[in-house]
Amino acid sequence: MSHAIDLRIAAAKEAVLAETGRLHAEFGRTKAQLKYDGTRVTPVDIAISESIQRAITARFPEDQFFSEELAVTDAPVPVTARFCWVLDPIDGTNNYANGIIHVAISLALLESGVPVYGVIYDMARRVLMHGGPGRGVWDGDQRAQVAPEAPHGHSLIGFHSPVEKVHAAEGKRLIENFKIRGLGSSALHLAYCAVGHLDGVVEHNNKLWDIAAAAAMIGEGGGRLDYLTPNPFPLREFWLKSGRVQYVAGNAAMVAKLHEVLGR
């Protein structure tokens, strides 16, 4: 095990947990505004992002730090450091501003562009989910894993309606074959799959920061994450204007079934 990674994992947990009081205090009270890309942001998103960045960069000034709430750049920023961080300070901002409890703080540690540990605070359950290759997957204090059952008609699949309507037919087929849960937080969908609360996930709308933390967890939990778009890892550059990431996840049998249902 790498001592350098262990130090960063401890710092990540501390930095995320330090923001939970702020997250709960402003829940349902803050106002959301539209960003350049049509998504929403609140002052709490920005405050959490800045606070976690300060905490991490003070400890590890040689690391690169990327967040959904950074200023938009004209061109991608190359990943040059051995370690970099990818943060979504509030995954589920629409939920958060509207008083819907399915919200997460999602922080990923990457080594050489590959996610090696994820830390995700689940606001609804007040639980810290975390894990990575060789270090286990944890749902709070409990060791966790991907649900082992074979897919069936009552399997719970995390799924959000696709932004691009060209994928609407895939959504129809999913609804015909499974029970659907759309929580409004992509980070929670994949993390819940990694710890066994959801049986599978299909996502059409993700950006890198939505999934980086849970991507570190899913394989260690005994699951698979198959990308339907080019694999974003190893991360070579970070850009807020990057394209959407589409994927399916679950145990091996579930992933095979999801490919069959989607037809790709």
The terminus-to-terminus CA distance of the chain in angstroms comes to 37
Q: Tens of pLDDT along 50-65?
A: 999 999 999 999 999 9
> Could you state, in chain order, the average pLDDT of each consecutive group of 10 residues for the chain (264 residues)?
94 98 94 77 94 98 94 89 98 95 98 98 98 98 97 97 88 96 97 98 95 98 98 96 95 98 94
Cα–Cα distance measured from residue 251 to residue 224, given in angstroms and rounded to the nearest whole number = 6
Element (H, E) at 200: strand 200-206
* Ordered structural domains, the chain, with CATH: 3-143 (3.30.540.10), 156-262 (3.40.190.80)
Q: Tens of pLDDT along 120-153?
A: 999 999 999 999 999 999 999 999 999 999 999 9
pTM above 0.85, yes or no: yes
* Residue 42 Cα distances to 49, 65, 182, angstroms: 11, 20, 22
